[in-house]
Amino acid sequence: MDHNIQEYYETAIAVAKEAGEVVKDGFYKEKKVDIKTSFADLVTETDQAVEQLIMSRFSSKFPTHKFIGEETVAGGKKCEFTDDPTWIVDPVDGTMNFVHGIPHVSISIALAINKEIVVGIVHCPILDTMYTAMKGQGAMCNGKKISVSKISDLSQSVVIIEGGNARSGNEAKTKSNNHLKIIQSSHGIRAYGSAAIDMCHVARGQGEAYIEYGIHIWDIAAGILIVQEAGGVVADPKGGPVDLVSRRIVCASSKAIVGQISAIVEHIDLERD
C-alpha cells in the first residue's frame, strides 16, 4: 500500500493546532482533576476531550489507521503496536504542569508505519511553539529548521531528566542515584515536566541529552523523530536501538554522549507497554 506521508504530516499539523485551542481554553479555567495510578499521576477533562477530538479527526480521514492514546490505554484498552499505520498520541503531555498553571504543556502526535515513526508533531499551545518532523525532511520549530548542539562531551552538557511517578521503592531510589551521578558528570540538569518538550529541547540544541526510565510510547514517539531529524541520536540506555515499548530512552546531540550517560547510570527494567 502506498502512503502519502505529506498528507499525513499536514493533517497532523492541522489536528494539533485544533487540539491546541482546546488545551489553551482549559489551561486558563478551573480544572477538574482525577487521579489515575497514584497521587502523582493525574488526568483532567481536557486530556480526555483532546484525545477524543484527535481520535475523531484521524478516524474520519484515515479510517483504516490504528490509534494508541494515553487516555484510551489508561481506560483499559491494551496497547497494541503493530506494523499497521498507527497514530500515537499524548493529548496533554505535562498534565501536572497543566494542573498547576505551568506553561510547559504539549500535544504529542506521531505516526508509525511498520513500527517506524514517519511523522512527529509536538505542539506547545501555551508557549505558541510547534515542533514538526517528517521522515527524511529534517526537523523544524515554528517552520524554521533546527539542529542539535555540537557539544559531544558529557562534562560540558546540560542533561534533561524527570522524576516520573515513582515516589518510593527501588525505582525511585535508582532514579535519584542516577540523577546524582549525572549532576556530578555534567554541567547540570534540567526538568521541564513533559517528555515531548524535553526531547524537543535536545533537538533544538537547548540541552545536550535527555534520559528517562518509566516513560510510555505516547510520551516519546513524536520526539524520537524530531530529535533524529535534527541530527541527534536516540537509543536504549542499556545499548542498541531505542525500543518504543521498553519504557526507557536516552537521546543526545551525539553518540558519544549517549555512551557516556549509559556508562554511568544504573539501568531499570520496567513492565513493557
Query: Is 243 known as a binding-site position?
Result: no
Residue 267: beta bridge partners? none
| Cα distance between residue 53 and residue 159, in whole Å | 34
Query: Is 93 known as a binding-site position?
Result: yes
| Cα distance between residue 160 and residue 61, in whole Å | 36
Q: 118 to each of 77, 141, 156, 196, 217, how far by Cα in Å? A: 24, 17, 32, 16, 15
Query: Is 21 known as a binding-site position?
Result: no
Pairing of strands 86-93, 233-235: unpaired
Query: Is 273 known as a binding-site position?
Result: no
Phi, psi values for residue 18, rounded to 5°: -65, -45
Length of the chain: 273
At position 68, the amino acid (one-letter code) is I
**Contact predicate 81/244, CB 8 Å:** yes
Residue owning grid cell 531505542: 242
**Contact predicate 85/112, CB 8 Å:** yes
Summarize the annotated binding site as residue ranges: 70, 90, 93, 219
Summarize the annotated binding site for Mg(2+) as residue ranges: 70, 90, 93, 219
